Amino acid sequence: MPNGLFGGKINISYNCLDRHLATWRRNKAALIWEGEPGEQRTLTYQQLHSEVGKFANVLKRSGVLKGDRVALYMPLIPELAIAMLACARIGATHSVIFGGFSSAALIDRIKRCELQSGSNSRWRLATRQRS
């Protein structure tokens, strides 16, 4: 690893969101999502920042700490990107798990995580697991 990277402090959530809030981009589309025919959502940088902050607080209230692992079992909806950025914001590692995995692969990925987060249609669900 190059010497310049040791001890570095970069937060991808800041690079993706926060740096745009003080610029003209805050009201520009940061995320454009199209689901089923006719279903579309657009979030500006400011709106996405707000949602990421809310979910980061949910994670912290659930006891997720810097360095913890969070399993995200969600379809490709805006909340998945929000959850990934929220994990990055608080320093937690996330593992995105897609529905195509076998049950054995799901068990292997999920059992190593401190928190599992999923969705039921559009509602977020979270369960806490500590060993």
Residue range 45-96, pLDDT digits in tens: 999 999 999 999 999 999 999 999 888 888 888 999 999 999 999 999 898 8
User: Does 122 have pLDDT greater than 50?
Assistant: no
Strands 40-44 and 69-73: unpaired
User: Does 9 have pLDDT greater than 90?
Assistant: no
Residue 27 confidence class, pLDDT cut points 50, 70, 90:
very high
Name the residue among 58, 49, 68, 63 with its Cα closest to residue 125.
58
Residue 24 confidence class, pLDDT cut points 50, 70, 90:
very high
Name the residue among 41, 44, 63, 50 with its Cα closest to residue 116.
63
